[in-house]
Structure 1
């Protein structure tokens, strides 16, 4: 399974085996936009669930499959450039963009501007800052790696702690109403006693181990001028600690959704 598809599974499990939480009326769902679609798995599953809706997934990279439901299509686009086109959407969904966007206020504003009246927007994301309730994170290679990862994102002008900030971004930069914020926790491994959290932790551990070296090399070498050898040593230490299950850490994962007023109102942002 592609790591991004595993991340999709993790996030669906996190919110209760659902693709989204917004109270979208399926009968009124005609056009859906999936921002940063990645492998396209969310768009494809939405296309199966809503066969009468047009599902559009966009991303910077063309890594989506060619065989998809007939109501699903993919576009190569940079969501941070100007949004063009007159057709708006009944639902705009984005997820897993933390550390990717340079200008979040403009992004959430554009999302709201491109909704049809009565349409919904949903933002799902996490913070890469790790937390621990029992002190087992302190002084570990995992903590050093997480802190260094976020420092590297800052060098590139990216915020890697966007999840808990989503509600304020939406309230301050859009005219959306019926805004709701639902927070979740995702463990870094299968250490919790709770069966659901343990399942989430196992999914997260697998995707962390698979992606650790790749995105660490990209960010730490490119942003902080680390050598490849330095990165690989840290990754080896992190991998050992993750597999040990002794570091009981977790991430914030936040879902925020809101609705465009049914009557258009001027948006002064």
Structure 2
């Protein structure tokens, strides 16, 4: 991060990457776009505009109020977040993402960022990207933007763009960092990128092969794409994690409900197949990392990772569950909270040795 003299307001902008409205979509245009007046070239454009004399006023505070009300109305479809089951959720493309976007979830996302960074060797990325020759970076599903801001610790200053469905990022950021409210599964427009990061998108994407193609098409020749993701289905190496556990039942219900709404709970193991299957990427590398849930491993490195993972899992249980279990399965909030209390107790007791895997896959778009 740079000093205050180099910072500016990081307001969410209109899309310059994936287009906000998919072609042929039946959904209405986002309300944050003003209704168009006469288009350029329309003959009415040559008619002088008539002034509304009633607008002349010495009361400048009234115009401030009107601007505030007008801009609030324009952006209401994006930032007027609905409250469901006691949590706050995305308004833009409502329903396409099942996790909350409130402060509790933002704090968990920052812990998840710390977890993934530690898992892959205290690095933000593994692709052999030469940042000194990188001009434009895209961070898909940026969340709180913490990954991008940490990237700025480098002495180089590429343009870094992060997109997400919600404006939950910091207001003050370096001048070469920009956040956009956008849906990465819509058509992409705008300049291409030298490096695209797509991570932690399990349960968020409806068509992964299509997303991989969009990423490839929007890389400059020689550019790199990197995917870091997981399978949210828990398992154990020693058989200690069993169907009779409350956690097992909760996790299987979570996984199956995600599948029922077209959201893949396990993109991690499939990433290499999608990237290689595209046919364009070269120099494809796949690495898998075991991530314990809890401090049960003997090895200190994995013990620390397990403790951090346990913390973010416990903080996330409610957010993972409420929209799916209540909104999709029809369970009451009270019923879900009782189940989650039993899950928390098991996870804290190290009653079993559960874990999941994180997969990283990166590849390069050929120069020719």
Superposition TM-score tier, normalisation by shorter sequence: over 0.9
The C-alpha deviation readout for 1:233-264, integer Å capped at 9, x for no partner, is 2101100001101210100110000000011x
Report what 1:109 is aligned to.
213
Structure 1 residue 92 corresponds to structure 2 residue 186: no
> In the TM superposition, what is the alpha-carbon distance from 1:135 to its structure 2 partner?
1.7
Tell me the secondary structure at the aligned position of residue 48 of structure 1: coil
- Distance (Å, rounded) in 2 between the aligned partners of 1:237 and 1:125: 27
Report what 1:255 is aligned to.
360
Match runs of 1:2-41 below 5 Å:
2-41=107-146
Tell me the secondary structure at the aligned position of residue 132 of structure 1: coil
Give the TM-score of the pair, scaled to structure 1. 0.95
- Distance (Å, rounded) in 2 between the aligned partners of 1:72 and 1:112: 22
User: Does the CA-based 8 Å contact 2:159-2:176 persist in structure 1?
Assistant: yes
4+ residue stretches of structure 1 with deviation over 3 A? none
User: Does the CA-based 8 Å contact 2:131-2:156 persist in structure 1?
Assistant: no
Deviating more after overlay: 252-261 vs 224-233: 224-233
Report what 2:77 is aligned to.
none
- Distance (Å, rounded) in 1 between the aligned partners of 2:279 and 2:130: 21
Report what 1:179 is aligned to.
284
The C-alpha deviation readout for 1:100-159, integer Å capped at 9, x for no partner, is 000101001100110000000000000011110122210211111111101110121101
User: Does the CA-based 8 Å contact 1:47-1:71 persist in structure 2?
Assistant: no
- Distance (Å, rounded) in 2 between the aligned partners of 1:234 and 1:155: 21
Q: Which is higher, the Rg of structure 1 or of structure 2?
A: 2
Give the TM-score of the pair, scaled to structure 2. 0.70
- Distance (Å, rounded) in 2 between the aligned partners of 1:233 and 1:146: 15
> In the TM superposition, what is the alpha-carbon distance from 1:174 to its structure 2 partner?
4.5
Structure 1 residue 125 corresponds to structure 2 residue 226: no
| Cα gap change, 1:240 to 1:223, in 2 (>3 Å) | same
Aligned length in residues: 262
The C-alpha deviation readout for 1:201-258, integer Å capped at 9, x for no partner, is 1111111111111221111112222222221121011000011012101001100000
Report what 1:216 is aligned to.
321
Unaligned runs of 5+ in 2: 1-105
Tell me the secondary structure at the aligned position of residue 189 of structure 2: coil
User: Does the CA-based 8 Å contact 2:144-2:168 persist in structure 1?
Assistant: yes
| Structure number having the greater strand percentage | 1
Aligned-pair Cα RMSD in Å: 1.1
User: Does the CA-based 8 Å contact 2:224-2:364 persist in structure 1?
Assistant: yes
Structure 1 residue 68 corresponds to structure 2 residue 163: no
